[in-house]
Chains A and B, each alone.
Chain A
């Protein structure tokens, strides 16, 4: 189910017996900017379209979705990513949230710790020597890390 928060709003409206016949009902979404919302709506529409086109073939759907997602990522700017994730989370749009989280995971998986810290705006708060100990214990996990 996409845009669960919006659906919830409709359900609540129905329960309150407000005339919900109008197709121009305005739903307040204070936490979502218009730009990420537009991207999410496009994503959603595309997903539904691909699903409809490949009604029985799950693999085909997946393949087409992956291709679309790769294209989409080419157009997304780093700064937009936070907004997109927050928007998808607020709207309870599971597929989009999964997609963007996977994208972030793939961006950081082979990167150095320093890169990851910068990416998330974090500082190391370990005590003296604690970080060295961890790096030593898990030295094997630092192999094959991309150059910064």
Chain B
């Protein structure tokens, strides 16, 4: 599929080159130039920053970056999906806490079109080999930016905001709430955009172990703002409840960014019952809300919440629900059971046993649910007709799918690494229990002991 640009014939450009006359478009009024540039693909725009000073400052201006995003987002007839895929070898290695330095995480953009689901672009992964856990967790995508967190299994604080189209990234500084400062905790992370202040934010909901039993008190909240480049602990208190980090073996999706707010499934302990509800955080105003979930009686640990158009979808006990009217809890409607016709939802299984059941991975623009089958094959299923389509792609675990829009976000930032560039420095001391040591070879084990007992304390004393 092409980028839908009309083709000027070869003779047009050849004529132009061979003509000694003046250039074609030298008398162009200044307001026309952005109209032309905004229609260029990202690679060409980046190249054009080298044309002259005027072009460079135009392209890097926040106004143009916003205009480019708006133009990119309204090309609705050719929506894109970002896939993060792991090979079978890589997934197995990560699940067994083994380092596999050969296999790379794959990041690819596909056209979200039933007639042509081909690949539009694939990205070189610049952080290969830097993950302590083996693969990064994709927190979410927003306006062409991808937020990565290296927190799959261990306490680790390597957060990255990355624009793969223009190869720019920002590595976040360490957050305030860590194992070494606050003790054990459970945390969930979200990534969103504040359209009022044109700022991107990373939000952490942290439930501290030393505060008592989970679900009885509100979590601590820490927010990183790209504009300030810093983390800040929020004064305002969220509603009581715990937003547990659920690893991929249990739950298919962590957060949903919709209508300017982040949504997580939270747990609350009320009397003797454990209740699920949706914790909502407005990224702009930084205020909290709640939305009730259907089936209050059963607290399903495997509930997962998803962005679905302008509203939310919920997967609970293999059933797919959609909230027809955003924020109106009574409009939750059961749409489909995913446990039939051979497409069955993942039931929580202990790590390492190898999920043989299929799992939901995301939604297409037109609302079909994308499912990863037990053998790795990715399919999409129409919610009305229940028709299944083979997408021709495979993922073997840790698969991420999200809608994507090409943008120039981060172009006005230099590539930033946090002060300590070593991924290891983000690994928290002592805790990160190496449970499955038998999978490591002796050399790895000895290295890890060395790191934990000697190198880490030394490095963190350097960065204090």
Chain A interfacial positions (CB closer than 8 Å to B): 62, 66, 69-70, 73-74, 76-79, 81-82, 85-86, 89, 97, 99, 101-111, 113, 115-126, 131, 134-135, 138, 140-142, 145, 148
Contacts and interface: CB of A to CB of B under 8 A. Distances in A.
24 contacts: A62-B77, A73-B6, A78-B15, A78-B16, A78-B19, A78-B24, A81-B25, A85-B32, A86-B29, A89-B31, A101-B35, A102-B6, A102-B39, A103-B8, A104-B36, A105-B44, A113-B50, A119-B24, A121-B23, A122-B55, A125-B53, A125-B54, A134-B50, A142-B47
B56 interface: yes
Given A73-B12, A99-B6, A135-B50, 16 more contacts: A73-B6, A73-B7, A78-B15, A82-B25, A82-B27, A101-B32, A101-B36, A102-B4, A108-B36, A113-B51, A116-B51, A119-B16, A120-B26, A121-B23, A141-B46, A145-B47
Contact of B47 (A104, A106, A113): A113
Q: Which interface residue of A70, A103, A123 has the most chain B CB atoms within 10 A?
A: A103
Given A105-B40, A122-B51, A82 B6 contact: no
Contacts of A73: 6-9, 12
Contacts of A142: 47
A54 to B, nearest CB: 15
Nearest to A133: B50
Nearest to A143: B43
The 9 closest A-B pairs by CB, nearest first: A121-B26, A106-B5, A121-B23, A105-B39, A109-B44, A141-B46, A141-B47, A107-B8, A134-B50
Contacts, number: 131
Contact of B17 (A115, A126, A131): A115
Given A101-B35, A101-B39, A109-B44, A126 B23 contact: no
A3 B5 CA distance: 23
A116 to B, nearest CB: 6
A106 B36 contact: no
B28 interface: yes
A106 B8 contact: yes
B13 A120 contact: no
B34 to A, nearest CB: 10
Contacts of B25: 81-82, 85, 104, 119-121
A113 B51 CA distance: 6
B49 interface: yes
From B9, B35, B50, name the one whose CB has the most chain A CB atoms within 10 angstroms: B50
A18 B203 CA distance: 62
Nearest to A81: B24
A61 B217 CA distance: 59
B12 A131 contact: no
A62 B4 CA distance: 11
A105 B5 contact: yes
A24 to B, nearest CB: 32
Contacts of B51: 113, 116-117, 120, 122, 124
A82 B40 contact: no
Contact of B29 (A79, A89, A109, A126): A89
B60 to A, nearest CB: 11
Contacts of B47: 113, 138, 141-142, 145
Contacts of A107: 8, 12-13
A122 B54 CA distance: 10
A125 to B, nearest CB: 5
B32 A89 contact: yes
Contacts of A121: 22-23, 25-27
